[in-house]
Structure 1
């Protein structure tokens, strides 16, 4: 009679999104993709808003559609699978923002029809949405708290710049946008490095 021995159970570490939202076995942490898409798209657009490379406003359209938009929504959908409500809401919402931005810019006559008031209101609503996301960020990490605070300020400045048709205020928004972009890319880098090393190598200031 042959005895079948069960394979040994291993406690080898696996990538972890957070203590509260552990990565499901076989599914990678979507935060790396989401933060990369959020950060890179914002960083490129900020070159145009800051008046450094005006052509970046055109160059960002493809990036914003496919990376900031589609890829970020994919990351958000997988955050739903991870039972991470914050990540799902944030990534799907900002992915939709980039799709809406692309559609508004590329649709003939859309900007003219919206006018300063329409675009200003569009941006201020995103500022309000981003501002209330800062509250849950304070329970997640220092990085996200600072990132979303800077993003809310950027939206406020962009809205004021649109309402007032002020290039000076829009340029200020461009520089705060650089902060948002850098923090997003830092979060992407930290997420993928920490997941690869199975431990915290790059700090995020986790509060969970």
Structure 2
């Protein structure tokens, strides 16, 4: 995942990060107890968290950015499946869709997905590694909260999720503004590792 412009298309990465970050903040505020989880969060999850990131993944495929395709493609379907699980349950179409055990394992498998991206992010800007670290912690916290029914863990996960979303929003504007100004406006940090041969 890079901030380099493509000769064929504009850089879709900031849009994808904003879709992820803003949706995460809104859902996390609900988990933290600021307001109830409702249609506002579900609409954001479907359209900006899900569909927008799907578009970004497709555009990243054209840019030959495998990491971005995997990350944005994967997280877009995290948001879409999460939204539909809640919609199904709320309408009584699948009453057990959001049971603690089921949601715990659902979140845990996404934590495994995120850990793989975390390892790959070592050759990307350091702030991206931070975003994925916070995402991994968030998913684990919420998985355990669902398994145990511990409301305190859900609240902690909510505030940790706000930090996660905020870090993604920061990275989005860092990529966007640094590209527009042609210099470092918001630092993103050097990669923790170099690819072989770099």
Specify if TM > 0.5: yes
1:27 to 1, 4, 9: 9
Query: For the Cα contact (< 8 Å) 1:143–1:204, is it kept in 2?
Result: yes
Cα deviation for residue 111 of structure 1 reads 6.3
Specify the structure having the higher radius of gyration (Cα): 1
Question: CA 1:159–1:111 in structure 2 vs 1: closer, same or farther (change >3 Å)?
Answer: farther
Query: For the Cα contact (< 8 Å) 1:190–1:203, is it kept in 2?
Result: yes
> Which residue does 1:170 correspond to in 2?
154
2:163 to 179, 189, 195: 179
Q: Which runs of 4+ in 1 moved over 6 A?
A: none
Aligned length: 189
Give the secondary structure class of the aligned counterpart of 2:54: helix
- Paired with 2:92 and 2:175, the residues of 1 have a C-alpha distance of 41
The 5-angstrom pairing of residues 123-162 of structure 1 reads: 123-162=107-146
- Paired with 2:180 and 2:94, the residues of 1 have a C-alpha distance of 44
Q: Which runs of 5+ in 2 are unaligned?
A: none
Cα deviation for residue 200 of structure 1 reads 2.5
- TM-score, normalising length: structure 2: 0.90
2:105 to 109, 121, 124: 121
> Which residue does 2:82 correspond to in 1?
101
> Which residue does 1:75 correspond to in 2?
56
Cα deviation for residue 153 of structure 1 reads 0.5
Q: Does 1:189 pair with 2:173?
A: yes
Q: Which runs of 5+ in 1 are unaligned?
A: 1-15
Greater alpha carbon shift after TM alignment, 153-162 vs 187-196: 187-196
Query: For the Cα contact (< 8 Å) 1:23–1:82, is it kept in 2?
Result: no
> Which residue does 2:31 correspond to in 1?
49
- Paired with 1:59 and 1:103, the residues of 2 have a C-alpha distance of 14
- TM-score, normalising length: structure 1: 0.85
Query: For the Cα contact (< 8 Å) 1:104–1:110, is it kept in 2?
Result: no
Query: For the Cα contact (< 8 Å) 2:104–2:146, is it kept in 1?
Result: yes
Cα deviation for residue 86 of structure 1 reads 0.7
Give the secondary structure class of the aligned counterpart of 1:53: coil
RMSD: 1.7
